Structure 1
């Protein structure tokens, strides 16, 4: 019996064609009743960047991805317990956090935010990963 389920498996050769890496990853993992969502950025699941130069638009796309992945895992945004948000410029904080906050209004997760010197691709301005739970069936 598997101890976890991997959602949307992929290889980095396909997602990062401009880099020489060959790693097998997935977008989310369900372990028990916990969902771990890989860092999401302003790229949709077809690989299209949304919001070039626009941190708010990238945050919106990242949250669309988070919502979809949680639903595929049997959870939803209301069951997020922790977020970690990365921004590449402290001036993006307000725009990104306003957008994320719009999606998580009334959820009250714990949150960590970091300003980093860069992300995996130079056009990415923000990234968010989340941990959520799958509620027990009633």
Structure 2
């Protein structure tokens, strides 16, 4: 285990990740489950109408704040799940995600295309599972 409580395992033979995520992440410690975050700011107002990059930045900033509230960081994230209204947004989502996560030890991830989110102008929602070290930092 690392100081984060996560171990990244090499992909099993013949099962290489498509791009930018870990196949297997094992954790010990305190599980933190983050509800899906969307591109709403602290006042509940939409950030980046029609702009997947701006919305992704706000989503990851919201995730960062949630992790911090639990005493964690993106280094503790074991899994991200993306719900996007268009899979064509995924390259920009990955580019922005890489500004927040350690690309040498990325979390496991799943991307799902959805018909829509709870507000029609939202383009993506991201939820996270994190494992904090057993002993708080």
Structure-1-length-normalised TM-score: 0.72
Tell me, which stretches of 5 or more residues in structure 2 are unaligned?
1-28
Judging by fraction of residues, say which structure has more strand.
1
Alignment map for 1:1-138 (pairs within 5 Å): 33-106=30-103, 107-137=105-135
Report runs of 4+ in structure 1 exceeding 6 Å deviation.
Answer: none
The TM-score with structure 2 as length reference comes to 0.73
- Measured against aligned partners, the alpha-carbon deviations of 1:30-77 in whole angstroms (never above 9, x if no partner) come to xx7111111011111220111010011111001001011111111111
| Count of aligned residue pairs for this structure pair | 107
Per-residue deviation, 1:113: 0.5
* Shift, 1:89, TM fit: 1.1
Unpaired segments ≥5 residues, structure 1: 1-31
The higher-RCO structure (CA 8 Å, 6+ apart) is 2
More helix by share: 1
